[in-house]
Amino acid sequence: MPQTLEAVQTIQLTQGKVDLVSACDYLALSSFMWHANYDPHTRSFRAGRSANINGKLRSIPMGRQILGLQPGGATQADHAKHDTLDCEFSAKVRDAI
């Protein structure tokens, strides 16, 4: 049986980057301003946003936002395709315990 592909949307980031997200996540994610953060250890960009949490400015990665993980929690988000700018399906951004 052929696999059904979900519609993909793009979210514009800073530095000319875009992140791929699934259509079901797009509406919730597009209400925020997202930026591209470069990680020199992995030599890749990740999408993140800033938020004021308990009076402190925190960075919230898009993968954690999709999974509903709290900032600073021990559980890590992992990109199943190892492309940090591809969050196109919620199932592909998986919990990496």
Look at residue 91 and tell me whether its pLDDT is greater than 50: no
Number of structural domains (the chain) is: 1
Look at residue 95 and tell me whether its pLDDT is greater than 60: no
Which residue type sits at 79? H
- Residue range of the domain that includes 88: 8-96
Per residue in 33-82, pLDDT tens? 999 999 898 899 999 999 998 899 988 989 888 888 877 777 777 776 77
Q: Is residue 3 part of a domain?
A: no
Q: Is residue 75 part of a domain?
A: yes
Q: Is residue 1 part of a domain?
A: no
- CA atoms of 86 and 6, how far apart (whole Å): 14
DSSP 8-state class, residue 65: H
Residue 96's pLDDT is 57
* pTM metric for this prediction: 0.77
Residues 12, 44, 78: CA angle, nearest 5 degrees: 90
Q: Is residue 2 part of a domain?
A: no
Per residue in 68-89, pLDDT tens? 887 777 777 777 677 788 776 6
Per residue in 18-28, pLDDT tens? 999 988 899 99
